[in-house]
DNA sequence: ATGTGTTCCTGTCCGC
DNA sequence: TGCGGACAGGAACACA
């Protein structure tokens, strides 16, 4: 689930529970996710205030009062579940952790945030806030697609001479940071560009047209995700409501929704990942 | 330097 | 219902 719009939705959902709040205690229930947790993570989190919750690409960044930033990546299946203040004045009591609840943040006001990740492709690390962009996971990232550094001349320049399919290029986080498999499919569908086209072979005009489409698709998805925050607060943690707006992704065999197209969505595999597209209107 | 295939891990769904 | 295989939102890594 977590591409840029989902991560941004999670971030916004976490703000009321975490931003400006003190982590009374962090319960680190295993030594690692994808990689080992940093040394003494629980101790470095406990008692610190979260000054600000930010996002960079698909990473959530929690700036702590200690001068360190907690970096959180949700991987493929990571979720942040919020439980409200437990009832009862004296017997504060949250339900016991469930399977795959790996890190539990107990906030000073009684709220609890639980990081749950069945597949454990997620990650957490701590790093000095003032040098955060130098962190090895963040340093290679390309520009934010919704930021000013991402524009038509940038994208044209970066794709120049590339022999890789445009689908693969847009998934490359060093070129543009935040797109994943779903939104690349949606973007290329809306742009009418075949995912198999070599990136460097597309005209500058067609590449330039991608830029506002990327912004639009991500923006719409964030808006859609935002309205699912009510569900998010519940324990199921399932966002997945923008899926009703998919035009291509996961729609194999279904008719292409584009005005006057009449094509049928096809599924192919590119560098090991599913691509959904309409062969008749994506050229 | 680029491009591609494999790998980490668990859960779910589909066909037999 | 059980069992095996394919597949899932990511992306580092090894290798041609």
Concatenating the DSSP letter of every residue in A137-159 gives TTTT----TTSTT--HHHHHHHH
pTM of the model: 0.94
Which tokens sit at A227? Answer: 């309205």
Query: Helix A4-18 to helix A204-226 angle, to the nearest 10 degrees?
Result: 40
Question: Strand B: which bases are under 7 Å from protein Cβ?
Answer: 2-11
Residues A103 and A160 grouped into a single domain: no
pLDDT of residue A239: 53
- How do residues A246-255 score in pLDDT, each as one tens digit? 999 999 999 9
**In percent, how much of chain A has pLDDT > 90?**
83
Predicted local confidence at residue A244, as pLDDT: 76
Residues A77 and A199 both lie in one domain: no
Q: What is the extent of the structural domain holding A11?
A: 4-134
Query: Does a structural domain hold residue A67?
Result: yes
Q: Is the pLDDT of residue A130 over 60?
A: yes
- Residue A46 belongs to a domain with what CATH number? 3.20.190.10
- Strand C–CB A76 distance below 7 A: yes
- Is A222 found in the same domain as A165? yes
Strand B contacting residues by CB (7 Å): A 34, 77, 99-100, 118-121, 162-165, 168, 200, 271-272
Residues A195, A238: one domain? yes
Candidates A101, A66, A64, A60; CA nearest to A82 is: A101
Please check whether strand C approaches the CB of A137 to within 7 Å.
Answer: yes
Identify the pLDDT of residue A61. Answer: 98
* Nearest to A73, CA basis, from A90, A86, A56, A94: A56
Nucleotide nearest to A172 (CA to C1'): C11
- In sign, the C-alpha dihedral spanning A73, A189, A168, A218 is negative
pLDDT, tens only, A38-78: 999 999 999 999 999 999 999 999 999 999 999 999 999 99
Query: Is residue A227 scored above 80 in pLDDT?
Result: no
Residue A245 or residue A184, greater confidence: A184
The answer to whether A219 CB is within 7 Å of strand C is no
Q: How many Å from the CA of A34 to C1' of B12?
A: 22
CATH (domain of A225): 1.10.8.50
Mean predicted confidence (pLDDT) in A157-177: 97
A130 and A10 assigned to the same domain: yes
- Choose, from A2, A5, A145, A195, the residue flagged as catalytic: A2
Judge whether A157 lies within some domain.
Answer: yes
Whether residue A141 lies inside any domain: the answer is: no
Chain segment A87-116, per-residue pLDDT in tens: 766 666 888 999 999 999 999 999 999 999
Q: Which of A11, A56, A58, A190 is catalytic?
A: A58
């Amino acid at each position: 689930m977590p591409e840029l719009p989902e991560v941004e939705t999670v971030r916004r959902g976490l703000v009321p529970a975490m931003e400006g709040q003190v982590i009374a205690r962090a319960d680190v229930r295993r030594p690692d996710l994808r990689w080992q947790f940093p040394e003494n993570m629980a101790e470095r989190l406990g008692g610190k205030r979260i000054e600000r919750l930010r996002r960079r690409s698909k990473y959530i960044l929690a700036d702590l009062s200690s001068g360190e930033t907690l970096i959180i990546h949700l991987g493929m299946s990571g979720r942040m579940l919020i439980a409200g203040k437990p009832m009862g004045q004296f017997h504060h009591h949250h339900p016991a952790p469930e399977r795959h609840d790996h890190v539990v943040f107990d906030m000073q006001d009684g709220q609890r945030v639980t990081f749950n990740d069945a597949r454990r492709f997620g990650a957490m690390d701590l790093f000095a806030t003032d040098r955060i962009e130098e962190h090895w996971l963040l340093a290679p990232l390309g520009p934010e697609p919704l930021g000013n550094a991402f524009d038509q001349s940038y994208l044209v320049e970066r794709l120049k001479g590339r022999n890789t399919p445009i689908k693969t290029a847009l998934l490359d986080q060093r070129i543009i940071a935040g797109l994943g498999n779903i939104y690349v499919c949606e973007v290329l569908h809306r742009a009418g560009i075949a995912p198999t086209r070599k990136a460097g072979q597309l005209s500058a005009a067609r590449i330039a047209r991608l830029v506002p489409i990327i912004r639009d698709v991500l923006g719409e998805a964030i808006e859609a995700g935002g309205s699912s925050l009510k569900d998010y607060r519940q324990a199921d943690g399932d966002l997945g409501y923008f899926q009703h707006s998919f035009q291509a992704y996961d729609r194999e065999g279904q008719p292409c929704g584009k005005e006057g197209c009449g094509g049928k969505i096809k599924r192919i595999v590119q560098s090991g990942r599913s691509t959904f597209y309409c062969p008749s209107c994506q050229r």
